[in-house]
Structure 1
Amino acid sequence: MPLEYPEETPSQTAGPYVHIGTMPRVAGFKLFETELGREIAAEGVPGTRVTIEGRVLDGTGAPLKDAMVEVWQADSEGRYAHPEDPRVGEVHEGFSGFGRYHTDFDTGVFRIETIKPGVTPGRHARPQAPHLNIWIVARGINIGLHTRMYFPDEENDNDPLLGMVEQVHRRATLVAEAAGENAYRFEIHLQGPQETVFLDI
């Protein structure tokens, strides 16, 4: 007699409750004195302080007002606060390299305050231009989306990942816009003609 397996359960999105589980203060609950991801680089961490603002936009151009944006980055010397980085011992104790942000419930704008990362080593020792690694989750997204944000005032032309984007005009979707001194604007388009390049990792 052949084995019978239960039917696959429906796919689940992050749902409207993602903030309760991951950012309870945003949902109006004070559960922890310090929540994970509140600060990428504490005061005193060396590096140029930068501010990044942006939105996560759906296929019609409307901002998602309940998205969560996570960021991983290197410090100003290109070192990650991760045990697999051979220079982790040199990372300032106030640098976590990880941040968790939400889009504003009224405007849909997220705001990241951090330090500008340095050049990091990539595969085969090829240098990668300074960038933020970004992961997005929200109601309606079945699987979290990975992307990157590069800085417009850096040498991005030889970055190995940008070079892998075959449609050259789409590389611009990974590069922020200057928005003042040490300030940047980065719009993430989930669909449409300006769709951001997402990474399958």
Structure 2
Amino acid sequence: MAVQELTPAQTVGPFYGFALPYPAGPVVAEGGSLRLRGTVFDGAGEPVPDALVEVLQADVDGRLDGGLFGRCSTAPEGRFAFTTVRPGPTADGCAPHLAVIVHARGLLLHLHTRVYFPGEALNAADPVLAVVPEDRRHTLIAVEEERGFRFDIRLQGEDETVFFDV
């Protein structure tokens, strides 16, 4: 009999080991030139080593029907990284963004958030950003780095990432 690999214990779930592997993993778009990396932190500011981060996004023309999806487990240091293309604005008036879903220990439900891009003029008119208090919007905007963007996810505490009730 084959030995089955155990998946990490989580409050959300159940997760089935055979269903977790995603063939493309963190490569959302082949040949993508946008790199998004970050770390998932818990309420004490400690990295979460066993979270699962998923992204879903529009293509460069803003179409959502292209199936641009990626999944990445965090490393022992809580880090994740995706390779993709920069999404275009969507037909419903949303600025370019990536939808993010976080599964982590201690959560009763998975969490939904978004990653927006710094300096994007369309952020000012985005209907979702508009309902987020101005002093909290920075938790939804990635930080530009030399080789891409960084988006840290804070599950609780100071500078907790804004999550949406979807």
TM category, shorter: 0.7 to 0.9
* Shift in Å, 1:61: 0.6
Partner of 1:161: 128
Instruction: Let me know the Cα RMSD of the aligned residues.
Output: 2.1
Q: Which amino acid aligns with 1:161?
A: V
Match of 1:113 in 2: 83
User: 1:116: Cα distance to partner?
Assistant: 0.5
Instruction: Please say if 1:184 is aligned against 2:154.
Output: no
CA 57–79 in structure 1, closer or farther in 2 if over 3 Å, else same: same
Instruction: Return the TM-score normalized by structure 2.
Output: 0.85
**Equivalent pair of 1:120/1:129 in contact (CA under 8 Å):** yes
CA shift for structure 1 position 37: 4.7
Matching residue of 1:35: 23
Measured after TM superposition, the shift of residue 19 of structure 1 is: 7.6
Aligned partner of 1:138 in structure 2 is 104
1:78 equivalent in alignment to 2:62: yes
Q: Please tell me whether residue 170 in structure 1 is matched to residue 141 in structure 2.
A: no
Q: Are the counterparts in 2 of residues 23 and 35 from structure 1 also a CA contact under 8 Å? A: no
> For 1:37 and 1:110, how far apart are their aligned partners in 2?
11
Quick one: structure 1 residues 73 and 154, their matched pair in 2 at CA, closer, same or farther if it must change by over 3 Å? same
Unaligned runs of 5+ in 1: 1-11, 25-33, 82-90
Identity of aligned residues (%): 44
Between the two proteins, the alignment pairs up a number of residues equal to 156
Structure 2: stretches of 5+ with no match in the other structure = 1-9
Task: Report the Cα distance in structure 2 between the residues aligned to 1:73 and 1:53, rounded to whole angstroms.
Answer: 15
Alpha-carbon distance change, 136 to 22 in structure 1, aligned in 2, over 3 angstroms: farther
Q: Distance in 1 between matches of 2:38 and 2:16?
A: 19
Q: Which residue of 1 aligns with 2:11?
A: 13
Moved over 4 A (4+): none
Larger radius of gyration: 1
Q: Distance in 2 between matches of 1:133 and 1:50?
A: 15
Question: Contact 1:152 / 1:178 at 8 angstroms: preserved in 2?
Answer: yes
CA contact (8 A) 1:145 1:199 kept: yes
Instruction: Please tell me whether the aligned partners of residues 26 and 82 of structure 2 are also in contact (alpha carbons under 8 angstroms).
Output: no
